Amino acid sequence: MSDSYTFQTNLLHNNQKIDPATGAVSVPIQHASTFHQYDIDSFGQYDYARSGNPTREALEEVIAGLEGGCRGFAFASGMAAISTAFMLLSKDDHIVITEDVYGGTFRMVTQVLVRLGISHTFVDMTDLEAVKKAIQPNTKLFYVETPSNPTLKVTDIAAICDIAKEHGALTFVDNTFLTPQYQKPLTLGADIVLHSATKFLAGHSDVVAGLAVVKDPELAQKLYFLQNSFGSILGPQDSWLVLRGLKTLHVRLEHSSQAAHKLATFLNEHPLVKKVYYPGLPEHPQYDIQQKQASSAGAVLSFDLLNEDIMRTFVKHVKIPVFAVSLGAVESILSYPAKMSHAAMNVEDRNQRGITNSLLRLSVGLENVEDLMKDFSDALEKANQIHLIQK
Ligand SMILES: *Cc1c(COP(=O)(O)O)cnc(C)c1O
């Protein structure tokens, strides 16, 4: 990575631009699981592919550069990256964690880590007093996800990192929603950045992958030890797919974020929409924090329709987005959190978090935004005709 280039140019002009052996302009996919050693006393750079693979290393180096960390790690999924990072903790440690964390992380913390004697307290991380109150003498980690899913709450990363440092604890930030293009948690004081590269980084709904980037070399060595110990590494084919996806990250995310902003504004003014959740709207409660710590509000928004019947008719008639879990792809993806990402949560907890039976989440893709708005407008008009006009 060069300091004199912008993020956009660094996506393409990094150390992986040209393969030194052949001049190839795409990173070679190295399938070998083992490597011949020429000298009995000193082994080469690679010995066994779980411990190191050149294709995976290319990706690890690129993401480390983009996040501004000292070392990157590629895992078989976002959850593999997150779960491996949690293994930096030990029995009797305590985690302060954001209450609207990704469902898989929630499951790991509440059903696996507790079994290993690692406890946690869920807090609303937009409330710094609540965060301070949740601290225990054995708190070793603050776990942040911002903007959060699906109600796009924004946590002040620098403020949490300050609290963590005061307490001698680490801060992990799940940066899946904004990517280093728009938010760089390591520069705001975080120790580890985590990604589901399945989403925006790879960007084409065709690979499951996870990444971690560490700021400090000593901590990086510990995470490398765990990556090699658990072995939930990303394979060379999938590493290559993420590397290819990264080359177009800037154009994809910029288009999708601008379109998301337009759609959020459009939906915000629509009479059938009760509430829009998008940190790019000035009325968003943490708009100022978002402006301060990130350079865009991103490509994901949620909106609550007047009631469940209207939501159902809208989903039935909207044509462009796929109706599915996941986000961060070339195609727009419409999700229904109550029955998808948050199905395991009881109704009271869901409603208390704003995840009602009429809430939809939209990850905006690369379609023309006018086409999307027309599609949404038509589907809402259908719902209007069926549910409101008869009154
Ligand atoms: C999808 C997702 C994950 C999990 O990643 P996988 O690649 O599905 O394992 C973690 N955090 C966030 C914010 C996600 O959206």
- Per-residue pLDDT reduced to its tens digit, 61-111: 999 999 999 999 999 999 999 999 999 999 999 999 999 899 899 999 999
| pLDDT, position 345 | 79
pLDDT of residue 277 exceeding 70 = yes
pLDDT tens, residue by residue, 128-180: 999 999 999 999 999 999 999 999 999 999 999 999 999 999 999 999 999 99
pLDDT of amino acid 391:
52
pLDDT value of residue 390:
54
The closest of 277, 370, 377, 366 to 317, measured between CA atoms, is 377
SS3 144: strand
pLDDT digits (tens, 9 = 90+) for 119-141: 999 999 999 999 999 999 999 99
Strands (E) across the chain are located at 71-75, 94-98, 119-123, 139-145, 170-174, 192-196, 210-214, 273-277, 300-305, 322-323, 333-335, 359-363
Q: How remote is the CA of residue 315 from the centroid of ligand 1, in Å?
A: 24
Atom number in ligand 1 closest to CA 328: 15
Model confidence pLDDT, tens digit, residues 220-257 = 999 999 999 999 999 999 999 999 999 999 999 999 99
Q: For ligand 1, atom 7, which residue shows the shortest CA distance?
A: 78
Alpha-carbon distance of 150 to 303, in angstroms, equals 9
Task: End-to-end CA distance of the chain: give it in Å, rounded.
Answer: 61
Q: Whose CA is nearest to atom 4 of ligand 1?
A: 78
E strands of 132-235, at which residues? 139-145, 170-174, 192-196, 210-214
Residue 71 three-state SS = strand
199: annotated active-site residue: yes
Residue-wise pLDDT tens digits, 12-69: 998 889 999 999 999 999 999 999 999 999 999 999 999 999 999 999 999 999 999 9
Q: Is the dihedral of CA 141, 147, 152, 156 positive or negative?
A: positive
Q: Which domains does the chain have, with CATH numbers?
A: 7-246 (3.40.640.10), 249-390 (3.90.1150.10)
